[in-house]
């Protein structure tokens, strides 16, 4: 039901926008092309920022540094009986969407789709946003170089998300296991 609605929203949104344009006698074809012209410019203008970010993240992962910090953190989290397999997700969820989904698929395959660890990971992934990607691309597109407090805001929101994902999924799913 819910997924059907979300499938309908996109076509509906486009229809409403076009219909509104026709009602208001907007030359929709010309205006569409006019707006679309910017697509190329904006996409190209974010390349330098994307290169800077993705290169740094790729290097960080390839060097084994990510694994090292994950292990370090899992020692602490083990005391709260949180599976070490979830830890890499905590790092990657702010950095890279595709990497996070990759780790999540692997974790879900290993633990099974109905396992508590999988569910906790699912909530953590579902509530994530690639903070650093958003900051780089959005600021990059208009040439902002001083991000001020936006990085700190993003990190605090991310940490809140991780902690809440752990607490809320314990509340929701742990009782079922008994």
Partner 1 sequence: MNWIYFILIATSLVFGLINGKLDSVVTAMFNGCDVAVKIAISLIGIMAFWLGIMKIAEKSGLVNVISKMIYPIVKPLFKDVKKDNPAIGDITMSLGANALGLTNAATPIGLKVMKELQEDNPNKNVATDSMCMFLGMNTAGFQIIPATVIAILAGLGAKNPTEIVIPTLIVTSLSFIVAIITALVLRTLWNKKENNE
- Map the footprint of partner 1 across residues 59-98, applying CB under 8 A: 59-65, 68, 94
Contact 32, 42 (CB under 8 A): no
Triad 132, 138, 142: Cα angle to 5°: 135
CB atoms within 10 A of CB 47: 10
**92, burial (CB in 10 Å: exposed 0-12, middle 13-18, buried 19+):** buried
| Nearest distance, CB of residue 9 and partner 1, angstroms | 6
Nearer to partner 1, 1 or 79 (CB): 1
Residue among 57, 82, 86, 103 that touches partner 1 (CB under 8 A): 57
Of residues 97-126, which lie at the interface with partner 1 (CB under 8 A)? 101, 104-105, 108-109, 112-114, 118-119, 122-123, 125-126
**137, burial (CB in 10 Å: exposed 0-12, middle 13-18, buried 19+):** middle
Using the rule CB under 8 A, give the single segment among 33-41, 72-80, 81-89 that binds partner 1: 33-41
Residue among 81, 148, 175, 178 that touches partner 1 (CB under 8 A): 148
Residue among 72, 75, 76, 144 that touches partner 1 (CB under 8 A): 144
């Amino acid at each position: 039901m819910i997924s059907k609605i979300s499938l309908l929203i996109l076509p509906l949104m486009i229809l409403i926008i076009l219909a509104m344009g026709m009602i208001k006698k907007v030359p929709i074809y010309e205006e569409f092309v006019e707006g679309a012209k910017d697509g190329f410019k904006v996409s190209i203008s974010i390349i330098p920022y994307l290169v800077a970010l993705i290169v740094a993240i790729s290097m960080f992962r390839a060097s084994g540094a990510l694994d090292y910090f994950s292990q370090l953190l899992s020692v602490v989290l083990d005391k709260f009986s949180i599976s070490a397999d979830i830890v890499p997700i905590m790092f990657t969820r702010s950095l890279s969407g595709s990497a996070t989904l990759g780790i999540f698929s692997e974790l879900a395959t290993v633990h099974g789709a109905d396992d508590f660890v999988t569910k906790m990971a699912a909530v953590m992934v579902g509530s994530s946003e690639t903070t650093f990607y958003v900051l780089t691309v959005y600021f990059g597109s208009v040439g902002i170089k001083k991000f001020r407090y936006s990085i700190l805001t993003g990190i605090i929101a991310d940490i809140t998300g991780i902690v809440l994902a752990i607490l809320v999924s314990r509340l929701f799913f742990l009782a079922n296991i008994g």
